[in-house]
Structure 1
């Protein structure tokens, strides 16, 4: 049974399918279906879901027993909506996979007396400056970093740290507003870009200048239990777009990745999680391997974006979205691998700035082709990296294979059978979304 989408102040849920005594999982924020529907589906197999979202999208209906219209970015509105749900049904857990809402979800779980990370720990992960401070205090390898207010402070910080440096927003995600700089003039420009950067409703709230960590970028996908034990379930290898940006253009997960047995990496990841005080949830830890040694870039107090948990499931059989639901209920998740292969995602970008005119997938399909999805529609203005970012993606491809190399070959094959036409933008219009 699917419920209507009431506004806060009206009865928020109808009677659940199975019984009114079944505890529900509150999911804070829906996200974009192309990137998050798989996760909501997995969580719905663990518990009945009640979604709280400012405007619950239609695709969430099939995975939820009820949806509540309330703005998760407004703590008072979020708490009022959650309390209305508790008046009708027992709530067994709270979770979110949206970066903007991790702290609010943690406060909500704490207020309801439910498992979850502390608001303090979630806040440290959410704030890249606080993360750096916590890592430094704990002796976890990371980048040298300074929080700056103004372009002169940014240039001064870059001079102290030494070029090249990375200038980034304090509280955004998805590599938005992040730039590599090799000169004071570039730092000034990057500071203004970072300070004014936006992603959905998130704002920069300050700018960091950091030392550049030169090496391949990876992420560790982890489940942290209530006692603080950090289980490193998988490692994802990132493909990045051209500098000066850091656009993530794809990811690959290999069930037998050698880094899963790398004690230095495992120690860095667990040390980083301990430094933040994070417990009871799924975390996404980003690192660079610099001269063979891991250095932590940031910690996200939520399951990864960019379909990485879906790749983990395809490659290993471990369901991180389902694990997030289990941990939110205080239960031990199933983390034993049941598959042994690789999986990869590649995001499609325009070859030049303009307006998307036509798009066509012509690959006939194969058992290893998990999905090919368009996320842009004809008429959308688009810009390629490094000027363009996540909002300029045209679509994505997901494949499986016995090895990462075979995944890349298959991604090449499917992309070669994809037709994309970009027409020039009208004179005087901007192509950057």
Structure 2
């Protein structure tokens, strides 16, 4: 009598999340949403995540990250490195979706989704979104005048015009991005890059900056929202984002249409299929000029701002799209803002707030952002959070990129309110302390 085949082993359904601790602290609701659907969150983190600290949070029953049981740390975000790291997960679990929460993992998250035939941006769209030179090549009609410079060509590189913007092609968080007004500044800027870094030289586009967040299903934009940006470019040669307002105030219907239609055109051009996207534009004389597009969750507090503005968290919609489910998301009924504080150079000490009912959250230390509590559309303005992105003892210097920022405030108000003025008021109620550096 022939032996009977053993019954197939049932594999638990799961979602792979590629992130780092600093982002997981912001997106704990994403993990909670995955677990609420009886799916296993499989989290892959990069070398910047301190595993000892992450394990402390995972061992704390009161911490949302205690929901994690499967975490892998990789030494880099190369596609091969990530695919090797997750091979056991692919065998042991039924992977239903992949979510990218950080720029460094855009390419491998897209590759994994493509290989497993999962819903998602698609391998090609992810690859283009992660490479600035590929973006400019594929999306030439949407952007400024530009030239790409390979390392061996730096000595004779010239921008299309002056003033120009120098951008390292492979970095993130505005690292290395600066304005140059002449050949001397250009040579000095190019001299700061490593021997293997390619660089973009772009026309400086005058005009306010915005991002467009979009929820995309099967190539169709189901929802999009426009976020106004505030940078520190007026005070120097850098372009560090110092604030966001959702939805962007003061736009005409034609300007809103220019931004949303340009964003839809960009996503169609690169063939993006499913997921949340974050694209940055300059609005110059009524034309939306693409700065860059990302196939991932937006950074800073933007998802929380849309939660405050609409009354609904974005995470359920993000997981819907990762699973291939057509989703919905409401339009805003309030306006929300995040504003970063200026700081002096020195060693960060204590941070104090005189805002009633708003404590100070040390998000890097605690691995946790404060909970988002929504208000009625006509409720009075309020500051909902004071966030410290650095740790006590860190040296604070010039805010030349996003990693150099320290303290921000988050709040919301009725749509008619002046969030820029309110942001300045809330920041003025926060005191950043400094201490003597230890020897």
Fold in common (TM above 0.5) = yes
Q: Does 1:379 align with 2:393?
A: yes
Residue 299 of structure 1 pairs with residue 297 of structure 2: no
Q: Distance in 1 between matches of 2:403 and 2:198?
A: 22
Deviations 1:4-34 (A, max 9, x none): xxxxxxxxxxxxxxxx765221101234055
Q: Say whether residues 1:363 and 2:355 are aligned partners.
A: yes
Q: CA deviation at 1:169?
A: 0.9
Are residue 326 (structure 1) and residue 340 (structure 2) matched? no
The CA deviation at 1:369 is: 2.3
2:229 is matched with which residue? 238
Partners in 1 of 2:333 and 2:357 — Cα distance? Answer: 22
1:289 is the counterpart of 2:283: yes
Deviation readout 1:165-224 (Å, 9 max, x if unpaired): 00011022221110011011111111123x24xxxxxx9841100000000000000112
- Secondary structure of 1:323 counterpart: helix
Alignment counterpart, residue 217 of structure 1, candidates 209, 212, 216: 209
- The residue matched to 1:114 in structure 2 has which SS? coil
Deviates more, 1:96-105 or 1:252-261: 252-261
SS of the equivalent of 1:282 reads: strand
SS in 2 for 1:214: coil
The counterpart of 2:133, out of the listed 119, 129, 151, is 129
> Of 4, 15, 33, which residue of structure 2 is paired with 1:25?
15
> Corresponding residue for 1:402?
414
CA distance in 2, matches of 1:292, 1:189: 34
Take 1:256 and 1:247, find their aligned partners in 2: how far apart are those partners? 20
Judged with a 3 Å threshold, the aligned counterparts in structure 2 of structure 1 residues 315 and 144 are, in CA distance, closer, same or farther, namely same
CA shift in 2, pair 1:317/1:28, >3 Å: same
Decide whether aligned partners of structure 1 residues 298 and 420 sit closer, same or farther in structure 2, where only a CA change above 3 A counts: same
What residue in structure 1 maps to residue 401 of structure 2?
A: 389
Q: Helix, strand or coil for the counterpart of 2:325?
A: coil
Name 2:368's counterpart in structure 1: none
Partner of 2:418: helix, strand, or coil? helix
- CA distance in 1: counterparts of 2:183 and 2:409, whole angstroms: 39
Aligned pair in 2 of structure 1 residues 408, 257: CA closer, same or farther (>3 Å)? closer
Contact persistence 2:16–2:99 (CA under 8 A): yes
The superposition leaves residues 247-270 of structure 1 with CA deviations (integer Å, 9 ceiling, x where unpaired) of 000100028874676332222111
Compute the displacement of 1:335 (Å): 1.9
Distance 2:207 2:173 in 1: 19
Displacement of 1:410: 3.1
Aligned to 1:115, what secondary structure does the other structure show? Answer: coil
Q: Give the secondary structure class of the aligned counterpart of 2:230.
A: strand
Question: Residue 317 in 1 paired to residue 320 in 2?
Answer: no
- Decide whether the 8 Å contact of 2:154 with 2:190 is kept in 1: no
Cα offset for 1:412?
Answer: 2.5
In the alignment, the residues of structure 1 paired with residue 349 and residue 28 of structure 2 have an alpha-carbon distance, to the nearest angstrom, of 27
Q: Which consecutive residues of structure 1, in runs of 5 or more, have no partner in the other structure?
A: 1-19, 197-202, 428-433
Corresponding position of 2:96: 92
- The Cα of 1:275 is off from its aligned counterpart by 1.6
The equivalent position to 2:71 in structure 1, one of 65, 68, 73, is 68
With 49-58 and 282-291 compared, the bigger mean Cα shift is at 49-58
- Secondary structure of 2:272's counterpart equals coil
Task: Tell me the TM-score normalised to structure 1 length.
Answer: 0.82
Do 1:155 and 1:184's aligned partners in 2 also have CA atoms closer than 8 Å? no
- Higher mean displacement: 261-270 or 28-37: 28-37
Residue 271 of structure 1: CA displacement?
1.0
Q: How does 1:262-281 map to 2 (within 5 A)?
A: 262-281=256-275
Structure 1 residue 416: Cα displacement:
1.7
CA contact 1:151–1:188 (8 Å) conserved in 2: no
Describe the shift of the 1:363–1:256 C-alpha distance in structure 2 as closer, same or farther (beyond 3 A).
closer
Using the size of structure 2 for normalisation, the TM-score is 0.81
Shift of residue 424, structure 1, vs aligned partner: 6.9
- Kept in 2: contact 1:376–1:394 (CA 8 A): yes
Check the 8 A contact 2:408/2:427 in 1, yes or no: no
Query: How many residue pairs align between the two structures?
Result: 391
Task: Go from structure 1 to structure 2 and tell me whether the alpha carbon gap of 1:143 and 1:185 turns closer, same or farther (over 3 Å shift).
Answer: same
- 1:90-139 superposed Cα distances (whole Å, 9 cap, x missing partner): 22111111111111011111222211222221111111111111112xx3
Residue in 2 that maps onto 1:431: none
The DSSP-based 3-state class of the residue aligned with 2:133 is: helix
- Closer, same or farther in 2 for the Cα pair 1:165/1:370, shift >3 Å? same
2:175 is aligned to 176
Cα–Cα, structure 1 residues 259 and 269, in superposed 2: closer, same or farther, change >3 Å? farther
RMSD: 2.8
Instruction: Report the counterpart of residue 147 of structure 1 in structure 2.
Output: 148
Deviates more, 1:125-134 or 1:398-407: 398-407
| SS of residue in 2 equivalent to 1:157 | coil
Q: Structure 2: which 5+ runs fail to align? A: 1-9, 359-374, 376-381
